[in-house]
Amino acid sequence: MSSHDIAMDPIMELQEVVEETADGEHPGEAEEGGEADDVQFQESKTQNERKETKDAEDPDTDLELEEEKDEYDVTGRNLYLSVCKSLGVVPASYFLRHMQDPTLSMRHHGIGALGAKAMAFPLQNNTAILELDLQDNWLEGEGGESIARMLKDNCFISKLDISENRLGSKGGKAICDMLMTNTTLKWINLSGNRFSDHDAGTFAEAFSENSRVKYMDLSKNEFSELSGPIFGQAIAENETIEEMDLSWNFFRKESAQKLCDGIASNCRLREVNLSMNGFGNEGAVAIAEIFKRNTTLHVLDISHNRIGPIGATVIAKSMDQNDSLRTLKIGYNPMGVETVKDILKGAGNENCVISLLDMSGIEVDKEFREMKDNLQENKEIEVIHGKVLSDYVLKTIPKKVDGDETKEQETNMTP
């Protein structure tokens, strides 16, 4: 059975019933004799005359009747039920209840590939839903293809969350093909879908062709060494995306450098999340180039990236060359208590406009705290950091020696 047959059969049957009822007849009634026909004709004539009189008094009647006839499947409910029956899928009652809401959120509903296929039919022509959230529904590649095909025709949905659905290369390619023609999507979350280096070229092509998407989330995937150069070039050329999340991938060393080079060249990005990628000191050098060359970025998250004292020092020295970044998240990096002071000094430079410096999880000493207090007296800036270390002494630690004699140890410990 074709999708056209599925869509039309129940609708045609309902339309016949509505038309017969509107003419004063009832399906299944039999006519008996000419006299009965004459009586019915006279009654029908009288009813028509009354209707004409009423219509003359109320010109909106015809319009109301027409609207009444068209109400049979405005929402696509009957089409959905018909497709579910054809595919052997249990209809989702939540979907039926919320088909006309501006936001449809169906996270963790266990929709599956066939369920997504059934939903795609009525969604194709749905004009009510503007935001569609299908996070964590095990759609896999086939379900991703169904949603992508639907979005090639739907011109009302502007926000899509299809994260945590194991789309893989098959679903990723379908989504990218859709992005090259769709003109209404502005926000898309593709996090946690097992995309890898094999898919990087497909996404890069979508970045180049699409001129509408402003937010793109590709976090928690498996992009690594080969993806960095590909994404870097695509990001450098993109003039639309304003927020991008590439956290929880595997961009390291040279791959991280190429990726950061693209971000440094971009003139549209406002917010970038690169946390949890293992940049190391090599990646930190590339991050310093972002500070030097990018003039539009407002928020940068490079936390959890194994950036040590050497890399942090390079970043600190570049901070006075940037006058656009407002928020820097650099927490949970093993930079040490001395180097963290260099970052604070960098934020205090006259040219630097950072108003939120997040160094969560990084221990500091008393001197750092004093520096922070002095900075905040002269500049409006919020500084977040780990616990404050202080000098302390361990005294009188009894230690048994020969016999029952003991000696005391005194150990001075400083951070």
- DSSP 8-state code for residue 351: T
What does each C-alpha distance from 151 to 141, 145, 273, 382 come to in angstroms?
A: 15, 10, 27, 43
Identify the pLDDT of residue 40: 46
Pairing type for strands 382-385 and 392-400 reads unpaired
Is 237:268 a contact under the CB 8 Å cutoff?
no
Identify the pLDDT of residue 73: 75
Q: What domains are there in the chain, each with its CATH number? A: 282-415 (3.80.10.10)
Question: What global pTM score does this model have?
Answer: 0.78
Identify the pLDDT of residue 400: 61
Identify the pLDDT of residue 146: 99
Identify the pLDDT of residue 19: 42
What residues does 406 pair with on adjacent strands?
400
DSSP of 258-301, one letter per residue? Answer: HHHHHHHH-SS--EEE--SS--HHHHHHHHHHHHHH-SS--EEE
Mapped onto helix, strand or coil, the DSSP state of residue 373 is helix
Tens-digit pLDDT profile for residues 299-333: 999 999 999 999 999 999 999 999 999 999 999 99
What is the distance between the alpha carbons of residues 378 and 348, in angstroms, rounded to a whole number? Answer: 9
Angle of helix 336-347 relative to helix 309-318, nearest 10 degrees, comes to: 10
Task: Mark the ranges of the chain whose per-residue pLDDT is less than 50.
Answer: 1-41, 44-45, 51-70, 393-394, 407-415
Identify the pLDDT of residue 397: 57
Identify the pLDDT of residue 47: 52
> Which tokens sit at 362?
């990084």
What does each C-alpha distance from 230 to 167, 169, 224, 265, 279 come to in angstroms?
A: 21, 16, 11, 14, 17
